Amino acid sequence: MICTGCGVKIQTGDMDGLGYAPPSSLEKEVIVCQRCFRLKHYNEVQDVSLTDDDFLKILNGIGTKDALIVKIIDIFDFNGSWLPGIQRFAGKNPVILIGNKADILPKSVKQNKVIDWMKKEAKENGLVAKDVFLVSASRGHNMREAAEMIDKYRNGKDVFVVGCTNVGKSTFINRIIKEVTGEGDVITTSHFPGTTLDIIEIPLDDGKSLTDTPGIINHHQMAHYIDKRDLKIITPKKEIKPRVFQLNEQQTLFFGGLARFDYLSGGRKSFTCYLSNELAIHRTKLENADSLYEKHAGEMLTPPRPEQLGDFPELVRHEFTIKQAKTDVVFSGLGWVTVNDPGTIIAAHVPKGVQVLLRKSLI
């Protein structure tokens, strides 16, 4: 017996163990574990003891199957949710790339441009994708088109939906189930990374199946460094409003207390920040930035929370000279700042362990 919500094996012996369900609940038509029940009804997450290795073992089997692989990425965190090892997992199987959460991109952005951008990035990252789509699984945008193409490309084979944690794999599958059967929220989804714990097979008409998989954990992502309660602040839920700053040289922007952007040299210029609307941005002079952080991290500059400061990793500085016009400085999982002109010198500060990178502008 497995949990319909997360795929874990159901047990009734150990109340604190993984997969526990009260014996009385086994009579129900749909069986879910206590963890899924709490997530769904109280939005509370119980930590699990699975390691990265456990997740990788589950996924390693996929390369040996004859199947279509649907790789989902979060368009807000393209690089952080990329999964460099995907070609290895997929083996010889064809891969379709899906960018999810299109609803958070500013409405003015042309979808076709984003798809072209994704194709280019995919190629540069060594993925040969059969096709590329941009969808919003939670809102249902472009979902019918994507589902139809998956059905075409699968050619009568099984389908595996894979990707990093939190990209929306389970939401994507729920949306397909909803379109076909009318039944909603079958698989547990949540804004906590690591919701799905084992594979979940959804039977298809022809005896094959559509399989949800546990997300792979990418430790470079900001989500792993902040308090669970603050995930809501850094994760955009609706259209991002770009915030534009006219900066003089030697000015600094703080993104809450999680990251910092120093404008070092290049004359007076504008910079566009694409971050969750909920995350406060504070501007200051570069010369005051260190002392401001020391005094106000955890209060004015939050998240992190005050009680977290003891464990919060120090901010590490990465300096860049921008080479190409329209470059995004990406703070993995937090968003990005678009810099327009080559020759501009900036420094990005992020918690130790979080990735910063430059890419050709998405927007």
Ligand X SMILES: Nc1nc2c(ncn2[C@@H]2O[C@H](COP(=O)(O)OP(=O)(O)OP(=O)(O)O)[C@@H](O)[C@H]2O)c(=O)[nH]1
CB of 326 to ligand X, least distance (A): 25
β 95-100/67-74 pair status? parallel
State the distance between the two ends of the chain, measured CA to CA, in whole angstroms: 46
Partner whose binding site includes residue 97, from ligand X, Mg ion, none (CB under 5 to 8 Å by kind): none
> Is 195 near Mg ion (CB under 5 A)?
yes
Question: Is 150 within 8 Å of 68 (Cβ atoms)?
Answer: yes
CB of 14 to ligand X, least distance (A): 23
User: Of 196, 276, 302, 338, which lies in the binding site for Mg ion, with binding defined by CB under 5 A?
Assistant: 196
Contacts 24+ apart (CB under 8 A), 320-329: 320/345, 320/346, 320/347, 320/348, 320/358, 321/345, 322/346, 322/358, 324/360, 326/360, 326/361, 327/358, 327/359, 327/360, 327/361, 328/358, 328/359, 328/360, 328/361, 328/362, 329/261, 329/356, 329/358
Place of tokens 């106000």: 296
> Is 166 near Mg ion (CB under 5 A)?
no
Piece of the chain touching Mg ion by CB under 5 A; list 73-81, 165-173, 178-186, 221-229? 165-173
CB of 214 to ligand X, least distance (A): 6
Nearer to Mg ion, 109 or 164 (CB): 164
CB of 210 to ligand X, least distance (A): 13
Amino acid at 300: M
Two tokens at 146?
A: 């994507």
> Is 213 near Mg ion (CB under 5 A)?
no
> Is 100 near Mg ion (CB under 5 A)?
no
CB of 234 to Mg ion, least distance (A): 19
Partner whose binding site includes residue 260, from Mg ion, ligand X, none (CB under 5 to 8 Å by kind): none
CB of 333 to ligand X, least distance (A): 12
Interacting residues toward ligand X by CB under 6 A: 100-101, 103-104, 136-139, 163, 165-171, 189-191, 193-196, 214-215, 237
> Is 138 near Mg ion (CB under 5 A)?
no
Question: Is 320 within 8 Å of 261 (Cβ atoms)?
Answer: no
Nearer to Mg ion, 79 or 190 (CB): 190
Partner whose binding site includes residue 191, from Mg ion, ligand X, none (CB under 5 to 8 Å by kind): ligand X
Question: Is 122 within 8 Å of 131 (Cβ atoms)?
Answer: no
CB-based contacts of 225, cutoff 8 Å, min separation 6: 258, 312, 313, 351, 353, 354
> Is 170 near Mg ion (CB under 5 A)?
yes
Contacts with Mg ion by CB under 5 A lie at 169-170, 195-196
